[in-house]
Structure 1
Amino acid sequence: MADAFQHHAVGMDSPASNAASITPSNTDDLPHVPRALYALGEGNVRVTMRGGGDPVVLPILVGVPLPVRVSRVWASGTTATGLVGIW
């Protein structure tokens, strides 16, 4: 498949090229740091930000990207469902 943009630099405001389902875990970090999270069912996500620090709880709406770079999505404290990370 031809990609007219293959030689363009990829920035944080560029469209995502990858996506993966996220299974929240209290013990495992994500295999890829996403640029944003999406949810199929709204609620809260408890996350550890890529920069570190204590976990925080953030609200997430269906179909609205949450532009955060996180290293972990925690099972405890996460009520949103159908989470997807894009990068």
Structure 2
Amino acid sequence: MDKFSDYPTSLTAPARDGATVTPDDVNDLTILPRALYVGQAGNLSVRLAGGQAVLFQNVPAGTLLPVRASGINAVGTTAAGIVALW
């Protein structure tokens, strides 16, 4: 039973879905996530929804990054176990 099923999904609400991400320098994610989870520590090179490229350095394992990333670059990304949440 989901007591919150009638509530709208907003950017501040907990994620309802997710998928593992394979970094790719060309192709964007199929769904624009509300956050990224990093399972194994390392650098994370992302393409943000606004068009900027950003490198998050030394992201610890277990980090939840509240960023709207259109894509995760393979070049520059050393982190693993990345999950897109929406």
Please indicate, yes or no, whether the TM-score normalized by the shorter chain is above 0.5.
Answer: yes
**Structure 1: tracts of 5 or more residues without a match:** none
Q: Displacement of 1:33 after TM fit?
A: 1.0
Aligned length: 85
The runs of at least 4 consecutive aligned structure 1 residues that moved more than 3 Å come to none
Aligned to 1:8: 7
Q: Displacement of 1:3 after TM fit?
A: 1.8
Aligned to 1:25: 24
Q: Normalised by the size of structure 1, how large is the TM-score?
A: 0.90
Q: How does 1:40-79 map to 2 (within 5 A)?
A: 40-53=39-52, 55-59=53-57, 60-79=59-78
- In percent, how many aligned pairs have the same letter? 40
Tell whether the 8 Å contact from 2:39 to 2:63 is kept in structure 1 after alignment: no
Q: Normalised by the size of structure 2, how large is the TM-score?
A: 0.91
> Higher strand share goes to which structure?
2
